[in-house]
Amino acid sequence: MPRLHVVRGPTLDDPVTVLTGVSDKTEARLARLGITTIRDLLLFFPRRYEDFSTITPIAFVRPGVKTTVRGRIYDIGAHQTKYKRMALTEAILGDDSGRLRVVWFNQPWLARSLHKGDEIFVAGEADLNGGLVMKNPDHEKVSLRPQNVARLVPIYRETEGLTSKWLRPKVQSVLPLADQLDEFLPAELLPRRSFMARDEAVRQVHYPASAAQLDRAKERLAFEEMFVLQVAAQMAKRARKALTAQPVRFDDSTARGFVNSLPFKLTNAQRVAAWQILQDLARQQPMNRLLEGDVGSGKTVVAAMAMHHAAHAGFQSVLLAPTEILARQHADVVQSLLEPFQIDVGLLVGSTPASARKPMMASLAEGQLPVLVGTHALIEEGVQFRDLALTVVDEQHRFGVGQRLAVRQKGERIPHFLSMTATPIPRTLGLTLFGDLDISILDEMPPGRRPVKTGLVPPEKRADAYDFIRKQVNAGRQVFVICPLIQESDKLGVRSATQELEKLQHDVFPELASRIALLHGRLKSAEKEAIMSSFQRGQVAILVSTSVVEVGIDIPNATVMMIEGADRFGLAQLHQFRGRVGRGSEESWCLLFTDAEDPQSLKRLQAVVTNKSGFDLAEIDLELRGWGDLAGYRQHGKDFKMASLLDAALISDAQTEAVRLLDRDPTLGGEPALRRQLSAYRQVFALD
Ligand code: ADP
Ligand code: MG
């Protein structure tokens, strides 16, 4: 087993390279798993365990069943296979009940480290191969503290070139350092809830003494994660309660005037959401509301109605979009909605020339411009408002929540805050994550929208699908092609999108080569904007893009959404891609390309084909794949390793304890270790 070769004892903050056996190459691999320090390694929890704790007598070993055997080595030797020249180590193990042949491929050193007469555990599956043979089993010499076999063995998340087997001794060597971990749960809470101490929990979670101890360790670790989140959320809630906003008096005839001016009738869901928002605006306490609805459910009108109300009462509002193109689009829409009321709408984006910017900034500061639409670039400019009553942010998760505070005005009042998203976040989760976030949901589509026809394209239908796409383009329509990230190293999707582009330009649609464009994460935002706008103008017929580049834009002429490797995406995400088409008068299609053959993947994709709502799909995702896939969730906070966001009892316990603690110690003066933990949420909740 590797030993730590450092003179002073290593500390949790030391890099993993202080451990023997961690070369530059392994350092890079560990980094891929998010492990750079010893602390990271210690807190890299197993994904699951293999139960090798039951020892099977050799006579009962059956082919094809994972088994652990304890036996003495009767014979061991190494030789080369004639064919392919592989190094083969072969041993005969025996116990009271019988003998078992064991072979290892390409591990010639085994014949030197294992000797005749040694007692070892082996764990693996036996095959029938002219008698029972166990191939490449995990093995370990019998000792009082088995590490790899004969116990609950941790299985870690692996990456290319880094196996659980490699990680185990590394983790084991740093386990004693768990003593140095901060205990950040309040001292009185541990005995009251009979929780394990933190160091003990960390040790047990890697190498549980028993299944019962493992449960207790997990319980404690899940609680601490949820508890920190709940403390942060409760602190944010208390802080917000202390702030005031500009009340915008609710006026029935103003609301009616807006609704009557619309070229369509609001859906019921829009009416309810608008009413909730207008009620919030009338309060002195700042609104903190999330407006959720599928792509196309009509969130913009609801926001415009709130902005109209604010303007009518003499206050300013601002609407922030994640990209310049979206900001322009919003500005057009909002302007046309507010035009009948002579309410001016300004647009401020990165490319707004200084000559236009200066007078606009002045009229914002003087309170003459009631409505501003822009990108976050404008926040960086430090725009000053005179009477900002309402901030609306579209697809907030791409901003970072903290930025909303940058949109401030002089004085102590903060604006009401509305964020809009197409990510289906169930109500309970919203409450959990944000503590005090109110949610309005548009669960109804405006009438007359034709559903997007969705189909699964197996490999043998690919050529037909391309013919179909060609016909659409020849008929003047446009096409999105989304490609998945295939390699971990291709984080920005440069490679996957480039390959797709080349395939389409050279092999599939050579006649359209000049009208196929590429969008990926390496492009500068100005380049992205330029490509999007030529797609918008129709010069580009086929837009190849990775999922990392959000194409959240209205292109009514786009009728086909083609998704490569559809099985690699979350369902809610596929649904959002689908929402990018079907916005015009023509029939639209979403084509899910997949090579997947396993029933589970096909069943998932079938759910998208049968056209479920984003919420239904998000729930299916949750059950099958967990939270990680819900777009945007990760940006809201750190990932949970242990806690489940669906565990209602855990959430409520953690919330109760958080409230209890803050009632006793509102500033956490007595909990310095807990305060340090809160830093992970500082930005999310804008804690100061
Ligand atoms: P999203 O929720 O995706 O932001 P938008 O606000 O962009 O949706 O609305 C999508 C389209 O639906 C817009 O063209 C808008 O004018 C239209 N729309 C919104 N509400 C209604 C409605 N109640 N009836 C008919 N069309 C509507
Ligand atoms: Mg929108």
Give the CATH number for residue 307. 3.40.50.300
Distance CA 688, CA 683 (A): 9
Distance CA 281, CA 124 (A): 64
- β-strands 152-155, 316-321 pairing: unpaired
Give Cα separations from 162 to 21, 25, 27, 110, 415 (angstroms).
12, 10, 10, 20, 50
- pLDDT of amino acid 400: 41
The region that residue 349 occupies, defined by phi over 0 for left and psi between -120 and 50 for alpha, beta otherwise, is beta
Q: Tell how far the Cα of 430 is from the centroid of ligand 1, in angstroms.
A: 24
**Does the beta carbon of 307 lie inside 6 Å of ligand 1?**
no
- Give the residue, out of 265, 266, 300, 452, with the most ligand 1 atoms within 8 A of its beta carbon, to mutate for a pocket test: 300
Distance CA 74, CA 94 (A): 7
Regarding whether 32 and 155 lie in a shared domain, the answer is: yes
- pLDDT of amino acid 592: 96
Low-confidence stretches of the chain (pLDDT beneath 50): 1, 6, 398-407, 409, 629-637
Nearest to 579 by CA among 284, 297, 216: 297
Domain membership of residue 239 (yes or no) is no
- Give the residue, out of 301, 302, 328, 423, with the most ligand 1 atoms within 8 A of its beta carbon, to mutate for a pocket test: 301
Domain that holds residue 668: 648-682
Task: Note the ligand closest to the C-alpha atom of 583.
Answer: 1
Regarding whether 276 and 409 lie in a shared domain, the answer is: yes
Give the CA count within 13 Å in the CB-facing half-sphere of 547.
Answer: 25
CATH of the domain at 129: 2.40.50.140
Supply the residue whose CA is at minimum distance from atom 12 of ligand 1.
Answer: 298
- pLDDT of amino acid 639: 64
Domain membership of residue 395 (yes or no) is yes
- pLDDT of amino acid 185: 97
Regarding whether 171 and 84 lie in a shared domain, the answer is: no
Domain membership of residue 429 (yes or no) is no
pTM exceeds 0.75 for this model: no
Handedness of CA 301, 306, 311, 313 (dihedral sign): positive
Which atom, in ligand 1's list, is nearest to the CA of 299? 2
Distance CA 568, CA 487 (A): 12
Regarding whether 671 and 589 lie in a shared domain, the answer is: no
- Each residue of 6-62: pLDDT tens digit? 456 789 999 999 888 888 888 988 998 889 999 999 999 998 887 777 788 999 999
- pLDDT of amino acid 687: 64
Domain end, chosen from 421, 444, 462, is at 421
- Give the residue, out of 264, 294, 319, 575, with the most ligand 1 atoms within 8 A of its beta carbon, to mutate for a pocket test: 264
Regarding whether 468 and 369 lie in a shared domain, the answer is: no
617 phi, psi to nearest 5 deg = -65, -40
Cβ–Cβ < 8 Å for 114, 91 = yes
Domain membership of residue 509 (yes or no) is yes
Domain membership of residue 204 (yes or no) is no
Task: Note the ligand closest to the C-alpha atom of 294.
Answer: 1
**Does the beta carbon of 446 lie inside 6 Å of ligand 1?**
yes
Regarding whether 534 and 468 lie in a shared domain, the answer is: yes
Q: Tell how far the Cα of 583 is from the centroid of ligand 1, in angstroms.
A: 9
Q: Which amino acid is at 37?
A: T
Nearest to 509 by CA among 544, 553, 548, 457: 544
Regarding whether 492 and 572 lie in a shared domain, the answer is: yes
Supply the residue whose CA is at minimum distance from atom 23 of ligand 1.
Answer: 266
Cβ–Cβ < 8 Å for 92, 32 = no
Looking at 372-455, list the stretches that DSSP marks H as alpha helix, in order from N- to C-terminal side: 377-380, 427-434
Give Cα separations from 416 to 277, 392, 408 (angstroms).
10, 8, 11
**Does the beta carbon of 584 lie inside 6 Å of ligand 1?**
no
Domain membership of residue 463 (yes or no) is yes
- pLDDT of amino acid 627: 53
Distance CA 620, CA 403 (A): 32
- pLDDT of amino acid 250: 97
**Could you say which DSSP state residue 401 is in?**
G
Domain end, chosen from 180, 199, 232, is at 180
Q: Tell how far the Cα of 333 is from the centroid of ligand 1, in angstroms.
A: 10
Strands annotated E in 206-364: 288-293, 316-321, 345-348
Task: Count the Cβ atoms, other than its own, within 10 Å of residue 465.
Answer: 17
Regarding whether 111 and 28 lie in a shared domain, the answer is: no
Beta-carbon contacts of 272 under 8 Å, excluding residues fewer than 6 positions away, are 440
Regarding whether 358 and 265 lie in a shared domain, the answer is: yes
Q: Which amino acid is at 429?
A: L
Beta-carbon contacts of 438 under 8 Å, excluding residues fewer than 6 positions away, are 276, 280, 287, 288, 289, 290
Report helix, strand or coil for 542: strand
Which atom, in ligand 1's list, is nearest to the CA of 293? 2
Domain end, chosen from 180, 196, 230, is at 180
Cβ–Cβ < 8 Å for 329, 337 = no
Helices (H) and strands (E) in the chain — how many of each? 23, 21
Checking 358-366 for CB contacts under 8 A at 24+ apart, the result is 364/316
Distance CA 640, CA 222 (A): 8
Domain membership of residue 120 (yes or no) is yes
**Does the beta carbon of 266 lie inside 6 Å of ligand 1?**
yes
Beta-carbon contacts of 379 under 8 Å, excluding residues fewer than 6 positions away, are 320, 403, 406, 407
Which atom, in ligand 1's list, is nearest to the CA of 267? 23
Cβ–Cβ < 8 Å for 93, 120 = yes
Report helix, strand or coil for 55: strand
**Does the beta carbon of 270 lie inside 6 Å of ligand 1?**
yes
First to last CA, the chain: 46
**Does the beta carbon of 298 lie inside 6 Å of ligand 1?**
yes
Instruction: Give the tokens for residue 131.
Output: 């008698």
Distance CA 605, CA 424 (A): 18
Cβ–Cβ < 8 Å for 423, 552 = no
Nearest to 226 by CA among 665, 640, 676: 640
Distance CA 494, CA 501 (A): 10
**Does the beta carbon of 149 lie inside 6 Å of ligand 1?**
no
Domain membership of residue 203 (yes or no) is no
Distance CA 374, CA 318 (A): 8
Q: What is the dihedral of CA 165, 167, 173, 176, to 10 degrees?
A: -120
Nearest to 95 by CA among 75, 114, 73: 73
Q: How many domains are contained in the chain?
A: 5
Regarding whether 598 and 532 lie in a shared domain, the answer is: yes
564 phi, psi to nearest 5 deg = -80, 145
Regarding whether 257 and 345 lie in a shared domain, the answer is: yes
Regarding whether 474 and 373 lie in a shared domain, the answer is: no
292 phi, psi to nearest 5 deg = -110, 140
The region that residue 248 occupies, defined by phi over 0 for left and psi between -120 and 50 for alpha, beta otherwise, is beta
- pLDDT of amino acid 403: 43
**Could you say which DSSP state residue 42 is in?**
H
- pLDDT of amino acid 569: 86
